[in-house]
Structure 1
Amino acid sequence: MLALLSWFSQAVFLVVVIYFAVYVLLELRVFLISQKVERRKLTELVHSMAKAESDSETEHWPPVSVLLPIRNESEVVERLIDAACRLRYPGELLEILVLDDSSDGTTELACARVDQHAAQGVDIRLVKRRNRNGFKAGNLVNGIQQSRGEFFAVFDADFVPPTDFLLKTIPCFKDSTLGFLQTGIGYENRDVSFLTRFQAMEMGHQQYVTVGLSEDGDMASLSGSSCVWRKTCVDALGGWNASTVTEDVDLGYRAQLGEWNYAYLRDVVSMSTLPETISAYRIQRERWGRGLIHSGFKHFKHMLQQRMPLMKRMHAISMMFSSVLLASIFVLILLSLPLTYLVRFDGAGMRWGAFAFFGLVVLWGLENAFGARKGARFNDKPNVLKDLWETYLYVSMFLPMAWYYFAGGVRALFGVHGDFHRTPKGKDGYGVIVPGINSVLLAGEILTFFYSVAAVWVAWQRANYFLIPLNITVCVGFGMVLFWSWQDRHVYRRT
């Protein structure tokens, strides 16, 4: 029995290492493309095509509907509506729809703000449903059914678009094959704590890599907000689908697999807000992991049926299953104890597998952190020791995130696809009632921390040191989130 467990653990370990190696090499390729294309060709085309604000000719501008899906967003709803009403665009061609699914005082605030702007001549109205069927996806579908625009600009409640957002994005759609367009995202509260800085870097890295993916014509994952959709594209795809909690990613996959092109404009930046509490962050990432893994498997067969070059297919698989890879890292954490106990790493395969894994982690960590700082637009003065330490902490935070994605993947496997929880942003997270999944994820963090402590102890006792760096990094990452949980609990008690 022990021999079978040893063989199984080694096989899974080597499979994950090989999978990780392919992912790292593909991401490195895209990263190098991104470096060469700091300013994308399509972005330059937009700047050359966009007319001055004083241009009086409006026949070239199509009608646009701005969609603002909200749900209990009293802290930011007024700011969102004000920002949407500041968008520069021919007034007779622009409408703003506040899609309100709220059950609290948000509706009253939104109504007052809508009435205020409507009185000033802005074409804006509030749309409220009788029920929340389909959650955010259903809200958006209901909104587009009542819109008149040929294009939809979508902004979540915590977003503030630049005033020239439409002037810079709509000209791109002169290309009739362009189905949707994603823009850059910045974060107002990125420097509040290491947690917010990590999130800004991690999503900044995704944005930086997307530059290379779009330049190379590879599949990419849509962020869902601060984006523009062509109405004929959305109609052809049947709109947003409520069968997944990442309805934006699902629609983006369907568009790209349906022969629609996408564009990414990194230099058009809308500001947003990040979760500041660890409970809000872990609930958000479990939901993302669940939806991304579900979407990946949901569209995998369709992707295989598409005709595409081998390199593009590899990038598509890598992108669609990056969440599965992250979840599989948690499987390595679970295997670290039996591997340490049963395997001496004397064989060439396991020994070189361990060396390859840690070498790949270093390569990926450095590339990821560099791209993250570029993507998040951090301009700190270089400090080698500080940067290396922050890079280590940055990498260690992916291990708790692996647990959230693993939990989300397990829930997706058991058919939990529609359990949607709004993510409170900023300091709003301290005062909300968190769903029960938070306690499950917290318990998993505690167990994983002590599990890795035990793995380090066993490795030390057996003088089998190969996986100690992994387990120590697990303790660092999970130790941070547990400390933040304790810290948030005390802040909540004082508020």
Structure 2
Amino acid sequence: MFKIRKSNRLYIAMLTVWAGLISFTAYPFIHEIILAGNSNSPYEPLLIALLILNALFISYFWLNGVKDITYVIYYYLFRGQMNRLIRTATSTRLRRSPSIVLVYCTANDFNEHSLERSMKQKYDNFKTVILDDSSKQEYLDRVDQFAKRHDIEVIRRTDRAGFKAGNLNNYLKGRTDYDYFVILDSDEVIPSTFITSALKYFSRFSDIGVVQANHVATRNRNDFMHIFSKGVNSHWPTYQMTKHHHGFMSLLGHGAMVSRKCYEAVG
């Protein structure tokens, strides 16, 4: 097994460019603050405060702008290298079949079609559990009918504390009858190869705790959704792949497989 190597070079480059922009414009800002301090105006403290706040806001937006431009440039320069890592991981042969549980979280938004499609996995050793925080009888009935039809366990709780995270913890905490769990949102559809593809990453790399898939907008029912989908579909490979190679990823709470070892380690 291998380990994923990370590098902070990209963030060093970002901060260097940002620091250069700040130093280039520092003199005008400082000059204006000095002028405001020598104005002998009754509003002098307010003027100085506003100038300082203006400088801080501009610096912050510059940092975000540098980050966005750097991510895009880096992706187009090194996407071949990043894609090679994906091909290496997905070509790994699975030598065992660990136990998987699909945990489907819902709260008055149950979507039978999405869950049914997500359950059609090309993998045998998995089960599906519905974690139902619904309060409306319509959704409670729909969940029960679906569970009965597909012989699925339904878990409900009374306090609904902690929202989705609390719902997951209510089911997972203390359990040892699984190796990995997959988090599903109510309207999420994962491909039939999701489990096998995610497991290949765990088999290839020894230091992985979470495998999160790129998301694609597929239900574009009007022009606005179709236009907006272009931003969603470009964000995932450009931003998330780059962030994965340089530092950290954000777990967005769905479309991800998590190992029990990782879950237990974070408490």
Name the TM-score, length of structure 2 as normaliser: 0.74
As a proportion of its length, which structure holds more helix? 1
Output the amino acid matched with 1:170.
L
Aligned to 1:287: none
- Alignment pair present for 1:102 and 2:145: no
1:194 is displaced (CA, Å) by 3.1
Q: 1:73 to 1:128 in 2, by over 3 A?
A: same
Instruction: Supply the distance in 1 between the matched residues of 2:150 and 2:190 (Cα, whole angstroms).
Output: 17
Counterpart CA distance in 2 for 1:6 and 1:130 is 54
Q: Are residue 116 (structure 1) and residue 149 (structure 2) matched? A: yes
Q: Which amino acid aligns with 1:172?
A: Y
2:228 aligns with: 198
Q: Secondary structure at the match of 1:17?
A: helix
Shift of 1:206: 5.1
Q: 1:12 aligns with which of 28, 47, 53?
A: 53
Structure 1 gap segments, 5+ residues each: 52-58, 119-123, 239-495
Shift in Å, 1:30: 2.6
Whether contact under 8 Å (2:217, 2:229) holds in the other structure is no
1:228 & 1:109 partners in 2: Cα distance? Answer: 26
Instruction: Quote the offset at 1:190 in angstroms.
Output: 3.8
CA distance, structure 1, for counterparts of residue 186 and residue 221 of structure 2 = 21
Task: Give the secondary structure class of the aligned counterpart of 2:153.
Answer: strand
Q: Secondary structure at the match of 1:95?
A: strand
Q: Which secondary structure does the structure 1 equivalent of 2:210 belong to?
A: strand
2:264 equivalent among 226, 229, 235? 235
In the alignment, is residue 82 of structure 1 matched against residue 86 of structure 2?
A: no
Paired residues of 2:115 and 2:189 also in contact (CA < 8 A): no
Distance in 1 between the 2:93 and 2:139 partners?
36
- Return the offset for 1:191: 5.9
Please tell me the residue identity of whatever aligns with 1:165: F
2:161 aligned with 1:133: yes
**How far did 1:72 drift?**
0.4
C-alpha separation between the residues in 2 aligned to 1:6 and 1:200? 43
**Matching residue of 1:37:** 79
Q: Please provide the CA RMSD for this pair.
A: 2.3
Cα distance in 2 for partners of 1:27, 1:201 equals 13
Q: Is the 8 A contact 1:190 1:200 kept in 2?
A: no
> Structure 1 residue aligned with 2:195, among 166, 183, 206?
166
Select 1:63's aligned residue among 99, 102, 107: 99
Q: Which amino acid counterpart does residue 154 of structure 1 have in structure 2? A: I
Partner-residue secondary structure (3-state), 2:215: strand
Q: Contact 1:191–1:197 (CA<8 Å) still a contact in 2?
A: no
Q: Distance in 1 between matches of 2:120 and 2:195?
A: 11
TM-score norm. by structure 1 comes to 0.42
Does the C-alpha gap of structure 1 residues 30 and 5 become closer, same or farther in structure 2, counting only changes over 3 Å?
same
Aligned amino acid, residue 127 of structure 1:
I
Residue aligned with 2:209, SS: strand
| Counterparts in 2 of 1:129 and 1:163: CA distance versus 1, 3 Å | same
- Aligned length, in residue pairs: 221
1:406 is aligned to none
Change (3 A) 1:135 1:147: farther
Task: Assess if the C-alpha contact under 8 Å between 1:40 and 1:215 holds in 2.
Answer: no
Matched letter for residue 37 of structure 1? R
State the Cα distance separating 1:147 from its structure 2 match.
Answer: 6.6
**Unaligned stretches of 5+ in structure 2?**
1-41
Contact 1:87–1:166 (Cα < 8 Å) also in 2: yes
Change (3 A) 1:158 1:191: same
Deviation (angstroms), 1:151 = 0.7
- d(CA) in 1 for partners of 2:58 and 2:146? 54
- Shift of residue 24, structure 1, vs aligned partner: 2.4
Other-structure match for 2:14: none
**Cα gap change, 1:42 to 1:112, in 2 (>3 Å):** farther
Distance 1:160 1:2 in 2: 58
Q: 1:3 aligns with which of 41, 44, 50?
A: 44
Structure 1 vs Structure 2: percent identity of aligned residues? 20
CA contact (8 A) 2:216 2:232 kept: no
CA–CA distance in 1 between the matches of 2:154 and 2:163?
17
For residue 79 of structure 2, what is the amino acid of its counterpart?
A: V
